[in-house]
C-alpha cells in the first residue's frame, strides 16, 4: 500500500484499487476520459459507430449463404440487454444467438425476463446453468486469491462473470460465431469497447481474463479440462477467437429509453426492472472490497441513483460511500439487527419516505443488507 493514498475527487475511487491511476489533477483515468470535451466524445462515438456498422455489414456478407449466427449476445433479463437485442435485430438485422448463464444467485425474475425477451424477440437461446459446486468453490477460493494477487477490487462479480465468459466464448468459438456482444453501458464502463479483427485478442488482456484464468486453473487444476468451462484464448488460433463489442458504451443510450423498449416491445413490467435482475449479493461482495480497497463493487449507475435519491440534498457520493460502508460493516458485526425502512433512514440520515417513488431504492438496500450473513454461510466465507 502506498504511503499516501490518492482519491479521485469525482468518483471517490482510491489508487490502492488494482489498475487505478490518479494524477495530480486528482482524477482517475476513467473520470478523465468521462470529462473529455463533448465535441471530442461525439466525434469518437460517431467514428466507433461507423466502424461497428461496417463490421456488421462484413459479418452479414460472410454469412449470407449459410445459416450461421452473426453474433452471440449476453442476455441477463435486464433492460439494457433487452434494448440491445432490439437494436441488433430490428435496426441492424443481425442473426442473434442469445446466451444466458443461470448462476445459483440469479433470481427467478431474471430467468422469467430472459424467457419472455427471447420468445417475443424470436431468437434462439442457450441457457447454461452454472454448476453450484463449481460456483461456490470458485467464489470461496477465488475471493482471497484475487485480493492476494491484487487482480480486481470487484471480486465476487468478476469471479461470477468469468465463469459465464468462459462458457460463452467457448460456445462462440466452437460454433464459429464471429462476434460476442454485451449490454454493458457507458455508465458501467466509461470507455468504449470495440475490439475486432486484429485487436480482438486484446479484450482478454484489457478485462484481465488471463489473470483470472490463472486463478481458475490454480483452483480447479485440470479437473475441468474438456468441459464447457474449458476456454483458454492463448491456446486457440486467432481466427477462432470471436471479436467483442459493447455497443452501449458508445452508442446514444439512456436508461429511460431502455426501460421503454423493455416495457413496450418485450412486455416487461416496470416493477420487474429494478436495480438488479441478476442477484442480491452486491453488498455482500462489497464488504470485501470495502475492507481491502475502500470502495464498493455496486455498479456505478446503482450508486449514482442511490446517492441521488437516498441522500440529503448536497451530500456527495464520497459521503454516501462512507455511510454505505459503515452500514455494511455494522450489519456484518450484528447478526440479529432488524433491517427495515427505519434502519435505512437512520444509517443514511435521510428524510426519505417509504412511498412509490423510492420504494425500489429502499427495498433494494433492505434486501441486500439482509442477505450478508446468508451469503457468508452459503459460501463459507467469514465476514471479518
The parent domain of residue 229 ranges over 67-271
How many residues does this entry show for the chain? 384
What CATH number corresponds to the domain at position 249? 3.40.50.620
Residue with cell 429494478: 274
Domain end position, chosen among 227, 245, 271 = 271
Rounded distance between C-alpha atoms, residue 166 and residue 325, angstroms: 32
Residues 232 and 126 reside in one and the same domain = yes
130 and 263 co-located in one domain = yes
pLDDT confidence of residue 62: 92
Query: In terms of domains, do 158 and 300 share one?
Result: no
Same domain, 209 and 329: no
Q: What is the pTM of this model?
A: 0.87
**Rounded distance, CA 38 to CA 56, Å?**
27
> What is the model's pLDDT at position 308?
53
Q: For the segment 75-124, what is each residue's pLDDT rounded down to a tens digit?
A: 988 899 999 999 999 999 999 999 999 999 988 888 899 999 999 999 99
- pLDDT of amino acid 199: 82
pLDDT for the residue numbered 313? 38
Indicate whether 256 and 109 sit together in one domain: yes
pLDDT of residue 70: 97
Look at residue 365 and tell me if it is in a domain.
yes
The reply to whether 94 falls in a domain is: yes
Question: Given this model, what pLDDT does residue 1 score?
Answer: 47
Q: Would you say residue 171 lies in a domain?
A: yes
The residues facing 71 across adjacent strands are: 96
- 209 and 111 together in one domain: yes
Q: Let me know whether 239 and 175 are in one domain.
A: yes
When divided into structural domains, the chain yields a total of: 2
Task: Answer for the pair 310, 348: CB distance below 8 angstroms, yes or no.
Answer: yes
Note whether 188 and 239 are same-domain residues: yes
In a domain, 186, yes or no: yes
Q: Could you tell me if residue 337 is inside a domain?
A: yes
Task: Give me the pLDDT at residue 204, please.
Answer: 83
Q: Does residue 33 belong to any structural domain of this protein?
A: no
Do 342 and 244 reside in the same domain of the chain?
Answer: no
Instruction: Choose one of 242, 271, 300: the last residue of a domain.
Output: 271
Smallest Cα–Cα separation from 278: which of 135, 122, 362, 161?
161
Is residue 191 situated within a structural domain? yes
pLDDT of residue 351: 52
Co-location of 305 and 331 in the same domain: yes
CA separation for the pair 86, 88 (Å, rounded): 6
Identify the segments of the chain with pLDDT beneath 70.
Answer: 1-3, 11, 150-154, 270-278, 296-320, 348-362
Contact 295, 153 (CB under 8 A): yes
Residues 191 and 267 in one domain: yes
Q: Which three cell numbers stand for residue 277?
A: 435482475
Residue 106 forms part of a structural domain: yes
Same domain, 227 and 290: no
State residue 352's pLDDT score.
52
Sign of CA dihedral 86, 91, 96, 99: negative
Answer left, alpha or beta for residue 286, where phi above 0 means left and psi between -120 and 50 means alpha.
alpha
DSSP 22: B
Q: 254, 271, 288: which is the final residue of a domain?
A: 271
Q: Residue 212 is placed in which grid cell?
A: 483470472
DSSP 262-307: HHHTT---GGGS-S-SS-S-HHHHHHHHHHHHS---S-HHHHHHHH
Q: What is the pLDDT of residue 171?
A: 97
Amino acid at each position: 500500500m502506498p504511503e499516501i493514498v490518492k482519491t479521485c475527487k469525482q468518483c471517490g475511487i482510491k489508487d490502492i484499487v488494482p489498475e487505478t491511476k490518479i494524477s495530480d489533477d486528482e482524477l482517475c483515468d476513467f473520470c478523465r476520459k468521462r470529462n473529455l470535451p463533448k465535441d471530442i466524445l461525439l466525434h469518437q462515438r460517431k467514428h466507433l459507430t461507423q466502424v461497428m456498422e461496417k463490421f456488421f455489414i462484413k459479418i452479414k456478407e460472410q454469412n449470407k449463404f449459410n445459416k450461421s449466427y452473426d453474433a452471440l449476445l449476453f442476455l441477463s433479463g435486464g433492460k439494457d440487454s433487452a434494448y440491445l437485442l432490439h437494436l441488433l435485430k430490428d435496426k441492424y438485422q443481425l442473426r442473434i444467438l442469445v446466451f444466458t448463464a443461470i448462476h445459483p444467485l440469479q433470481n427467478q425474475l431474471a430467468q422469467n425476463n430472459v424467457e419472455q425477451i427471447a420468445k417475443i424477440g424470436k431468437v434462439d437461446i442457450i441457457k447454461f446453468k452454472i454448476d453450484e459446486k463449481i460456483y461456490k468453490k470458485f467464489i470461496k477460493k477465488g475471493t482471497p486469491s484475487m485480493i492476494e494477487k491484487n487482480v480486481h477490487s470487484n471480486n465476487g462479480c468478476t469471479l461470477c462473470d468469468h465463469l459465464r465468459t468462459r462458457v460463452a466464448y467457448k460456445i462462440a468459438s466452437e460454433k464459429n460465431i464471429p462476434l460476442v456482444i454485451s449490454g454493458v453501458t457507458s455508465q458501467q464502463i466509461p470507455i468504449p469497447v470495440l475490439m475486432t479483427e486484429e485487436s480482438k485478442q486484446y479484450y482478454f488482456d484489457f478485462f484481465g481474463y488471463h489473470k483470472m484464468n490463472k486463478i481458475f486453473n490454480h483452483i480447479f487444476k485440470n479437473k475441468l479440462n474438456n468441459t464447457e468451462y474449458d476456454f483458454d484464448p492463448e491456446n486457440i488460433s486467432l481466427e477462432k477467437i470471436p471479436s467483442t463489442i459493447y455497443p452501449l458504451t458508445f452508442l446514444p443510450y439512456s436508461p429511460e429509453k431502455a426501460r421503454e423498449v423493455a416495457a413496450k416491445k418485450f412486455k416487461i413490467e416496470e416493477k420487474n426492472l429494478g436495480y438488479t435482475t441478476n442477484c442480491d449479493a452486491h453488498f455482500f461482495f462489497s464488504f470485501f472490497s470495502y475492507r481491502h480497497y475502500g470502495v464498493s463493487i455496486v455498479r456505478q449507475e446503482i450508486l449514482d441513483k442511490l446517492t441521488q435519491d437516498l441522500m440529503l440534498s448536497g451530500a456527495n457520493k464520497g459521503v454516501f460511500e462512507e455511510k454505505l460502508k459503515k452500514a455494511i460493516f455494522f450489519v456484518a458485526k450484528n447478526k440479529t439487527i432488524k433491517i427495515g425502512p427505519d434502519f435505512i433512514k437512520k444509517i443514511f440520515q435521510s428524510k426519505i419516505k417509504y412511498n412509490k417513488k423510492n420504494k425500489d431504492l429502499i427495498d433494494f438496500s433492505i434486501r441486500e443488507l439482509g442477505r450478508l450473513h446468508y451469503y457468508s454461510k452459503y459460501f463459507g466465507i467469514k465476514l471479518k
